[in-house]
Amino acid sequence: MNAENNSASIMNSEVAAPKKMPFHKYKPFQPVALKDRTWPDQVISKAPRWCSVDLRDGNQALIEPMSPDEKLKMYKLLLEIGFTEIEVGFPAASQTDFDFVRLIIEENLIPDGVTIQVLCQAREELIARTCEAVAGAKQVIFHLYNSTSTLQRRVVFNMSREEVIRLATDATEMVKTHTRGLVAAGTDLTLEYSPESYTATELDFAVEICDAVMKVWQPTVEHKMILNLPSTVEMATPNIYADQVEWFIRNLPEREKAVISLHTHNDRGTGVAASELGLMAGADRIEGTLFGNGERTGNLDIITMAMNMFSQGIDPGLYLSDMPKIVAVSEECTKIPIHIRQPYAGELVFTAFSGSHQDAIRKGMNHVQSGSDGQWEVPYLPIDPADVGGSYRETVRVNSQSGKGGVAFILESYFGVSLPRPMLVEFSPVIQKASEADGGELKPDVIWDTFLKEFIEVEGPYRLLSYKVNSEDGREKCAATIKVGDNEIEVQGEGNGPIDAFIAAMVETLNEPLNVVDYQEYALNEGSEAQAICIIALTDDKGDRFYGVGLSENTTTAAFASIIAAINRKWR
Ligand code: KIV
Ligand code: ZN
């Protein structure tokens, strides 16, 4: 096909009638009849009880499940973060999980105040094996589940409601029996029951089965059991999940004897929102994983939910300040890279490329530094990146979308160079052109090299070879050797200071007036290696302005170099 035909076919395909998706295959989720819902008026004001299910739900979903060493590494990270409830595995289903649970118990790796949780299906041999796994642990949550979903009852188990309730209550009885020995030996045991696929279960049935389990287990207000309401598959908008939670809580007999726990997945991409609204609807406890690793689209991302609270001035109850470490350990153990846009943790989440954003961030940062009463008030940055181990530097990166602000920021924060505005106006198009030519991001070292070429190592007819400055009778006298083209010439001048004297010498050589209209000199870094930077602007007889920059350990050399650079830029 020649180029003409090719473009014609692209044109044709671009205007082809849109095709239709087979949406008729799906039914809308029926909303909950709860006209007087109260959750929309609630405000989250304190952190829930968090439970990490990284080592179970997260691990089960990995292409390559964690090795024992990786499990241990992840477990230690979860402890460092401050989780006090950790689902450490499904010991009856996996030997690795069983061995891991034994290891942390036998090696005394469970700190006081930390409760391990183990998942188990409603089957006697699995219940017995799970009890074996947790023998000797001080505090255990026995997490029993069976699916209650309408669809699964019909197409998977072919069981009536009564039969499913019986399955759950029998299993609860078995847990009671099999854990008697553990409790007698001093284990503080809590039952957690999950009507798995809660979001796909009729609400009255979910309440009925949970109530039946409670009647068997006999929790008390002092020693509650946990009722976990999984959105095993996320099926509707998060407001519907919140309605389902509020409905459940309102209709559960003896609610005061249960801790209501949520366990959301992320099939529609709203796992965090569902847990947040569910918490507003009265839940007490949240299960999830770091960065949402878990089955299919993942579990609730605990980091996002906790950081969302943090950004509202609420103590999240988890320590997430060493985010780079959390990212590194998670990536190592799950072998899943954290996305660059992952909330609070991704490489780009505190970065602005757009010029107007960069400018606003810079002003916001100045405002914060100069007195915002300790409150974080920086546009485009929901939190201070430093709170999660980031730095202000990472907030600004430069590409062709960036403007003066970004360039100024990079020079200032990476190199300590602050440019006068007219110079920035001159330099910014140079950077713009370079980034357009490159097509991507200009890293700080490239910006610095471009700055050097533009203002310091300027190609031109003049080069300063050597100079001498003497004071005589309160006047400075300067004698310098300048290379002009292929010739070396000696120049001399006199003035109130060295700069004055050197300018006078150059004026004589050039035979035209030069005025210093802007001058600043400061140290670039501290200590014995300190370099001085001199930024100078000269005008010629026509009033045109030329900036030049000099860098040297010696302030006079830096100043003279800046003058030569400015003159060379004039002749460029
Ligand atoms: O998603 C789910 O329903 C689960 C249960 C086992 C709680 O992981
Ligand atoms: Zn799950």
Structure tokens at 72: 């241990």
250 to 29, 34, 39, 253, 558: CA distances (angstroms):
21, 11, 12, 8, 77
Q: Given the CA of residue 287, which atom of ligand 1 is nearest to it?
A: 7
Q: CA 281, CA 180: separation in Å to the nearest integer? A: 35
Work out the mean pLDDT of the chain and round it to a whole number: 95
Give the model confidence (pLDDT) of 92-130 as tens digits. Answer: 999 999 999 999 999 999 999 999 999 999 999 999 999
Q: Three-state SS string across 465-506, please?
A: EEEEEEEECCEEEEEEEEEECCEEEEEEEEECCHHHHHHHHH
Q: Transcribe 443-465 into DSSP letters.
A: -HHHHHHHHIIIIIS--SSEEEE
Exposure class string for 11-38: b at 16+ Cβ within 10 A, else e: eeeeeeeeeeeeeeeeeeeeebebeeee
Q: Given the CA of residue 233, which atom of ligand 1 is nearest to it?
A: 1
The structure tokens 């490489």 sit at 347
Give the model confidence (pLDDT) of 256-277 as tens digits. Answer: 999 999 999 999 999 999 999 9
191: CA distance to ligand 1 center in Å?
15
Tell me the pLDDT band of 362, cut-offs 50, 70 and 90. confident
Pocket residue to mutate for ligand 1, from 60, 120, 232, 267, most atoms within 8 A of Cβ: 232
- Residue 505 CA to its chain's centroid (Å): 57
What is the rounded average pLDDT of the residues 465-494? Answer: 94
pLDDT of residue 366: 87
pLDDT above 70: residue 4: no
Tell me the pLDDT band of 8, cut-offs 50, 70 and 90. low
Residues with a CB atom less than 6 Å from ligand 1: 57, 119, 145, 194, 196, 228, 230, 232, 263, 265
Beta-carbon contacts of residue 243 (< 8 Å; ≥ 6 apart): 31, 32, 34, 37, 39, 281
What is the rounded average pLDDT of the residues 136-160? Answer: 97
Nearest CA to ligand 1 atom 2: 232
Q: Which residue has the higher pLDDT, 374 or 232?
A: 232
For residue 197, give the ligand nearest its CA. 1
Pocket residue to mutate for ligand 1, from 126, 196, 231, 296, most atoms within 8 A of Cβ: 196
Nearest CA to ligand 1 atom 8: 57
Pocket residue to mutate for ligand 1, from 53, 130, 192, 194, most atoms within 8 A of Cβ: 194
pLDDT above 70: residue 191: yes
Query: Which of 46-50, 397-401, 439-443 shows the highest mean pLDDT?
Result: 46-50
Nearest CA to ligand 1 atom 3: 232
Q: CA 361, CA 375: separation in Å to the nearest integer? A: 15
State the burial class of residue 472 (Cβ atoms within 10 Å of its Cβ: 0-12, 13-18, 19+): exposed
State the burial class of residue 485 (Cβ atoms within 10 Å of its Cβ: 0-12, 13-18, 19+): exposed
Answer whether 83's CB lies under 8 Å from 52's CB: yes
pLDDT of residue 528: 63
Domains, the chain, in order of start with CATH, read 47-334 (3.20.20.70), 355-456 (no CATH), 462-571 (3.30.160.270)
Q: Which amino acid is residue 330, in one-letter code?
A: S
232: CA distance to ligand 1 center in Å?
6
78: CA distance to ligand 1 center in Å?
20
Q: Does residue 322 sit in helix, strand or coil?
A: coil
pLDDT above 60: residue 2: no
The structure tokens 């994983």 sit at 289
What is the rounded average pLDDT of the residues 486-506? Answer: 94
Q: Which amino acid is residue 185, in one-letter code?
A: A
Q: Which residue has the higher pLDDT, 197 or 472?
A: 197
pLDDT above 50: residue 505: yes
Give the model confidence (pLDDT) of 407-457 as tens digits. Answer: 998 999 899 999 999 999 999 999 999 999 988 899 999 999 999 999 999
273: CA distance to ligand 2 center in Å?
16
Strand order in the sheet with 515-523: 515-523, 532-539, 545-552
Give the model confidence (pLDDT) of 316-353 as tens digits. Answer: 999 999 999 999 999 999 999 999 999 999 999 999 99
53: CA distance to ligand 1 center in Å?
10
pLDDT above 60: residue 70: yes
Give the model confidence (pLDDT) of 79-90 as tens digits. Answer: 999 999 999 999
The structure tokens 């030069």 sit at 514
Q: CA 465, CA 264: separation in Å to the nearest integer? A: 72
Give the model confidence (pLDDT) of 49-69 as tens digits. Answer: 999 999 999 999 999 999 999
Give the model confidence (pLDDT) of 216-232 as tens digits. Answer: 999 999 999 999 999 99
Structure tokens at 20: 């239709």
Q: Does residue 344 sit in helix, strand or coil?
A: coil
pLDDT of residue 492: 94
For residue 90, give the ligand nearest its CA. 1
What is the rounded average pLDDT of the residues 367-380? Answer: 89
What is the rounded average pLDDT of the residues 231-238? Answer: 98
Least confident stretch, 133-147, 165-179, 435-449: 435-449
Tell me the pLDDT band of 370, cut-offs 50, 70 and 90. confident
State the burial class of residue 449 (Cβ atoms within 10 Å of its Cβ: 0-12, 13-18, 19+): middle
196: CA distance to ligand 2 center in Å?
8
Q: Given the CA of residue 228, which atom of ligand 1 is nearest to it?
A: 7
pLDDT of residue 572: 82
Tell me the pLDDT band of 215, cut-offs 50, 70 and 90. very high
